Amino acid sequence: MLTKLKQQVQDALTSTANMFHRVGLTPNHVSVLGVIFSGLAAFTYSQWEFNPILLIVAPVLMLVSGLFDALDGVIARVHDQASVFGAFFDSVLDRYSDAIVLCGIIVGGLTELRWGIVALMGSLLVSYVRARAEAAGVKMESVGIAERAERIVILALVSFVSYMWIDALNWGVLLLAVLTNITVIQRVLYFRKALKQ
């Protein structure tokens, strides 16, 4: 869904991408920064009981990670640094980022274990189904209701709310558990239909 805004977002980030390029950062460097910030967000979620303000800090770190994830592609495109390995490397690190953040929320006791596990499985399978489909020649971008951008936005919003109402994150992860697995089903059905055509 939010993927449809991708071009507008990339255009808006061009000046920032140029700045990163001028200081010598490659798309792969920025991808690594993204997963580092996801790790910091996960650690912050896991430590929230020591200071509830961390429930505000964690989603900010996660959003910064998402910004880096958008920037690596812009740098690659604008400065002609796109490569097959870079796209592969970025995709691998994105899966780590998704898993790390959800694990931090689970370890922090911010969601029921079963919902956290189902959301984690769904998040990974959304990406896996896309990879398998595109390897078979069927484009999957913007197919489904809970792509990576939507998942980050949902987690960030419920995290901010959780500062005032701690159960918000549990319900947010439950929502992710449902939406990610619906997305998997949508993509499987889309792939099946594309093959028939």
Residues near 86 by Cβ (< 8 Å), separated by ≥ 6? 27, 28, 31, 72, 76
According to DSSP H, which parts of the chain are helical?
6-12, 14-22, 27-46, 54-78, 84-107, 113-135, 148-162, 167-196
Active site residues: 94
Q: Nearest Cα to 81, choosing from 7, 24, 37, 16?
A: 24
- Computed on alpha carbons and rounded to an integer, the radius of gyration of the chain in Å comes to 17
